[in-house]
Amino acid sequence: MPTPTKGPRLGGGPAHERLMLANLASSLFEHKRITTTVTKAKRLKPYAERLVTFAKRGDLASRRRVLGLISNKGVVHELFTDIAQAVENRNGGYTRITKIGNRKGDNAPMAVIELVLEPVSAKQAVVAEATQAAAKAAPAAEEAPEAEVAETEAAEAPAAEEAPEAPAADEAATEEAPAAEEAAEAPAAEEKDAK
């Protein structure tokens, strides 16, 4: 009997293992959460997530592929309608494994595997909105330098008009300053002459 590609062998043979995974996935999709051993949960996770990915595609070929693995048509219908719509904005990570301790009889490590049906967190939604806003702003940013150049030229033109007026005021102040200095020096010179 061939060794499976991932993880430890669950049953006596590969066919039994395929059937066990299909039954676990069917139960998971029907009840949204199941309790099983950690080993089975770890083997079920990629199997179930692959089926959810097929369900998100939603086409007939995907539905037939899933029906080839899970024979219960009611469960497949629920997977394609309810579960696929609940996780349509999620990019993977459709299941969650939580370890719950050991089983009482044989001390086997147990886990709960459940579907993650909550909406994507607000942080991820904000990141998605920011990405979309950046994509929209990129074409506007290309047009913005042309608008900024026009605004800069418009701002420089009044500044150039104001610039000649400012030196004229400075020149008048400069002309008044020497006249004031000469007026101050004249009384001082007259005092020296008087002595």
pLDDT tens for each residue of the chain, 195 residues long:
455 556 557 777 888 889 999 999 999 999 999 999 999 999 999 999 999 999 999 999 999 999 999 999 999 999 999 999 999 988 889 999 999 999 999 999 999 999 999 887 767 667 777 888 888 887 766 665 555 555 656 556 555 555 555 555 555 555 555 555 555 565 555 555 555
Q: Which helix (H) or strand (E) holds 77?
A: helix 73-78
Is the pTM for the entire model greater than 0.85?
Answer: no
| Extents of the domains making up the chain | 14-119, 121-195
What pLDDT, on a 0 to 100 scale, did the predictor assign at position 103? 94
Query: What is the secondary structure of 20-45 as a DSSP string?
Result: HHHHHHHHHHHHSEEEEEHHHHHHHH
Q: What is the CATH number of domain 14-119?
A: 3.90.1030.10
What pLDDT, on a 0 to 100 scale, did the predictor assign at position 1? 47
What pLDDT, on a 0 to 100 scale, did the predictor assign at position 149? 54
Burial class (CB in 10 A: 0-12, 13-18, 19+), 14: middle
What pLDDT, on a 0 to 100 scale, did the predictor assign at position 79? 95
What pLDDT, on a 0 to 100 scale, did the predictor assign at position 137? 84
**Rounded to an integer, what is the distance from CA 142 to the centroid of its chain?**
24
